Structure 1
Amino acid sequence: MAVSATAARRKRLWPRTIGSATPPVDSCQNWNALLNSRFRQSVARDAPLGSQSASRPPTAATTQGAKARMKNVIRCGAAALATVVAITAATVPTSQASPPTQPTVVMVHGAWADTSSWDGELDALQAKGYTARAIANPLRDLTTDARSVASFLETINGPVVLVGHSYGGAVISEAAASSPNVKALVYVDAYIPEVGEAVSTLNGDGSVIYSLTEQQLFDTFPDRDSPAGAMELLLKKDVFQQHFANDLPAEQSTRLWAGERVTSTAALNTPNTATAWKTVPSWAFVSTGDQIITAASKQSMAQRAGAHITTFEGGSHLTLISHPDAVTAVIESAAAGVV
């Protein structure tokens, strides 16, 4: 009988220390006082049944038993505390911001494309700890497209590496001129216009844009939201596959063609009014297999801008999709140059 009563008391000891009757423990002093109180209660309960133990000092045996139980309480308490700490660490979200020494990378796609053009670069950059964003380019009009990008850049704290592909190169040149947090420009198979130049004039001799007629190149329909006379353009399927995405597998290029975004002639024919590359360091990635903007034209524009030039042998106008690692390496070089 005495053994079973002691076992029952031991079973109740830990729950009593965490029940609603337990006073708040907000310091080591309160915790120690609570343990001492439990120790004295345990010693008193261990006295032989029917005795007047409350008026007599505890025996060595009862003291030793109570100490053992207190040690068990402490061990359980430590284990519970460790569990709480582990759960807290696992559930508190980590910051997605770039380390203080790293700029944010913002990427702007070109005509007949969307943000998915940058999927490979986003994966690579984020895996290396960068905060990287691919933002939508409206493809409506150079002036308003650049204003949209500039508005987004205002939301970013710290330095920015601004990257543009194709028509996106004209957009970042215009947008960065009013965005002082842009510390580097990267042109990926992109136009790098001077003030007064429109991208439609910069494709270079031998470009398929000049060698085929408008009817052979595009499906067209009126652009009702742009200036009078502007048209919406979609690349025809054969042009998209054979000249725009010519280094991609047929299945992939077909899927990209099916999802291409319309581009207004107002975007391609509006000249730049600003050129940030005159004051912001720039990098240029030039694919020799590009049939939309010739390698010679891209080299000439990059040299005029004083850009750090990387020449990629082969590829297409969509080398950013077929070889994202090569493009990412240039973006990282630009990021390393930001101090």
Structure 2
Amino acid sequence: MSENKPTIVLVHGAWADASSWNAVTGPLQAEGYSVLAPPNELRGLTSDSAYIASFLAQRTSGPVVLAGHSYGGAVITNAGTQGGDVRALVYVDAFIPDEGETVVSLLDGSSSALAVADPTTVLDVAGYPGAPEGAADAFLKPDTVHNAFAQDLPEADRWNIVATQRPISFVANVTPSGPPAWKTIASWAVLGTEDRVIPIDVQRRMAERAGSTISEVAASHVSMVSQPEATLAAIRAAADSIG
């Protein structure tokens, strides 16, 4: 890998794992980038962000482009100034919170498929050992995957998401965000216009507030899977900005 290129670190979101970045990882590696896609623990925004910051501090050297998808956007917003030499942020169909905001509050009043009075209509809930009081794992119901999360993927791929999804603890979605890295680090945002999890108007408002360089793609919430070129273009632009 080229010593003149920044390291690209890709942080996945809820109901996913690092393989959700596969369509992005291969092309970037072929272009000479060192790419790392750490696990996002999906247990709580504070602890998840601390883990990613620790990963950055220990597993990277030199400039970093830090990218996050969905809930991973909230994680990089908190981790970006806490570990490693992060020079650019890339948000892909992502939450871009300001201090004090939560994932749930950002979706309040929106047309999101998840902004419903009864979460159990779109999520399956299960307890887990050692869960904090009131915490539980949330899994996407199959209908939610097919109709709102990844509706532009082939059916077989959607069923694979149903089978392999990593749940997120409810705690993560109600933890207030800390001081945002985007206030001091340049950012890029890829907005999926057909996103039914984080509606395009919510994405655009957050990205504009953060001063991000914005691009849009006619894709679902998993645009980096269905149309990865848009994400690749944003990451390349972010990397090029570092010099």
TM-score category, normalised to shorter length: over 0.9
Residue 101 of structure 1, CA deviation: 2.3
* Helix, strand or coil at the partner of 2:158: helix
Q: Are the equivalent residues in 2 in contact too, given 1:186–1:282 (CA < 8 A)?
A: yes
SS in 1 for 2:65: strand
Alignment of 1:323-338 (within 5 A): 323-338=227-242
Greater per-residue strand proportion: 2
Q: Distance in 2 between matches of 1:210 and 1:276?
A: 26
Cα deviation for residue 311 of structure 1 reads 1.1
1:134-173 to structure 2, matched below 5 A, reads: 134-155=37-58, 156-173=60-77
**Structure 1 position 179, deviation (Å):** 2.4
Counterpart of 2:171 in structure 1: which amino acid? A
- 1:21 is matched with none
For 2:118 and 2:150, locate their aligned partners in 1 and report how far apart those are by CA, in whole Å. Answer: 19
Structure 1 match to 2:28: 125
Q: In the TM superposition, what is the alpha-carbon distance from 1:260 to its structure 2 partner?
A: 0.4
Higher relative contact order (CA closer than 8 Å, sequence separation 6+): 2
Aligned to 1:330, what secondary structure does the other structure show?
helix
- Worse-superposed segment, 269-278 or 209-218: 209-218
Q: CA deviation at 1:211?
A: 4.1
Once the two structures are TM-superposed, the CA of residue 201 in structure 1 deviates from its matched residue by 1.6
Residue 107 of structure 1: how far off its partner (Å): 0.2
Residue 287 in 1 paired to residue 217 in 2? Answer: no
1:307 aligns with one of 212, 217, 223: 212
Residues paired across the two proteins, number? 241
Report Cα offsets for 1:246-276 as digits up to 9, x if no partner. 1001111001111001110011111111210
Q: State the structure with more CA Rg.
A: 1
Matches within 5 A, 1:1-339: 98-155=1-58, 156-179=60-83, 181-203=85-107, 205-211=110-116, 213-312=118-217, 314-339=218-243
Q: CA RMSD in A?
A: 1.2
Q: Unpaired runs of 5+ in structure 2? A: none
Opposite residue 106 of structure 2, the aligned amino acid is: L
Contact 1:226/1:266, CA 8 A, preserved across alignment: no
Classify the secondary structure of the residue corresponding to 1:335: helix
Q: CA deviation at 1:214?
A: 1.2
Aligned-pair CA distance for 1:224: 3.5
For 1:228 and 1:324, locate their aligned partners in 2 and report how far apart those are by CA, in whole Å.
39
| Percent identity between the two aligned chains | 43
Q: Which runs of 5+ in 1 are unaligned?
A: 1-97
Report if the CA contact (8 A) 2:57-2:84 is conserved.
Answer: no
